[in-house]
Amino acid sequence: MVCSHRKTLGKQHTISDEEDTVVEKLDMIYEGKAKKVFKTGDENVVIVDYKDDATAFNGEKKGTIVGKGVINNKMTNFLFQKLEKAGVPTHYIEELSDRETAVKKVKIIPLEVIVRNVAAGSFSKRLGIEEGFQLLCPTLEFSYKDDALGDPLINDYFAIAIGAATREDIDTITKYAFMVNDFLKEFFGECGIDLIDFKIEFGKTDDGTIILADEISPDTCRFWDKKTHEKLDKDRFRRDLGGVEDAYQEVAKRIGLVQES
């Protein structure tokens, strides 16, 4: 055991029948680019621990964005709770500390689900469409999660044919992805931020339920200031634009996660 959070989950968050569940942080089961995942005493619960490490271009570019782990943890938890209320089931259980959150254990569906409202990044490159072009309707695409292959773009037929998901899974994911977009676009819009595009991931619980997992943060979304079109996301790191930490802080401030200084 590494450490233990003497923290009692609220009854509404308790997955087992016990009322006083103690979330213990046990062995690390996975370390990704931006997060570590730890076992807990409950086989249906894991703890995610957000790091400040940043990578881009499939791990070729590496760096640190100071304070990013705290912002991404808090922003994801804040948004997941709102999405849950909007009808999108998520893996969120309870925030344990600035960087740690108890979440439902899932098997991640190996698809990056990308929704776009405005052309940018790989979409602009692939189709020769200028960044900033307002798409006539939101788009949805899938990348197959495989680092060795560089997360190739695939379609629903590919995903079903290789066993990454079933047709039913794809239909559920599609419905939720657009619900997430509708919610986020409006929410960030009210905070003076245009939601250009974002990537989400889904997982399946033991009983086969599909829920939103992973994170929603400036690492996984493109956020542009509504008035100035200034980039407030990881593109500042990817493209060496400077002001990376400030951009993450600015988004956190705009949505009311941290006090204006």
Binding positions for ligand UDP, rule: CB under 6 A = 112, 114, 120-123, 151, 197-199, 220-222, 234
**Taking the complex as a whole, how short is the minimal distance between the CB of residue 191 and ligand UDP, in angstroms?**
17
| Closer residue to ligand UDP (CB): 26 or 56 | 56
Based on CB atoms, which residue is closest to ligand UDP, 80 or 123? 123
Residue nearest to ligand UDP (CB): 121
Shortest approach of ligand UDP to residue 69 CB, angstroms?
16
Sign of the Cα torsion 147, 120, 63, 98 reads negative
Task: Kindly tell me which of 4 and 122 has the beta carbon lying closer to ligand UDP.
Answer: 122
User: Considering only CA atoms, which of 100, 76, 144 is closest in space to residue 4?
Assistant: 100
Contacts of residue 170, defined as CB under 8 A and 6 or more positions apart, other chains included, come to 156, 159, 160
Distance CA 42, CA 22 (A): 9
Per-residue CA distances from 117 to 125, 155, 214 (Å): 16, 19, 21
| Shortest distance (Å) from residue 121 CB to ligand UDP | 2
| Closest CB 222 distance from ligand UDP, rounded Å | 4
Nearer to ligand UDP, 49 or 197 (CB): 197
Q: Residue 47 Cβ, how far from ligand UDP at the closest point, in Å? A: 22
Distance CA 136, CA 9 (A): 44
Q: Which of residues 123 and 202 has its CB atom nearest to ligand UDP in the complex?
A: 123
CB of 125 to ligand UDP, least distance (A): 7
Determine the straight-line distance between the first and last CA of the chain, rounded to whole angstroms.
Answer: 39
Please give the C-alpha separations between residue 40 and each of 19, 44, 47, 146, 232, in angstroms, as whole numbers.
16, 8, 7, 27, 35
Which is nearer to ligand UDP, 58 or 209 (by Cβ)?
58
Residues in the chain: 261
Report in angstroms how near the CB of residue 143 gets to ligand UDP at its nearest: 7
Cβ closer to ligand UDP: 59 or 192? 59
C-beta of 132: minimal distance to ligand UDP in Å? Answer: 13
Nearer to ligand UDP, 151 or 245 (CB): 151
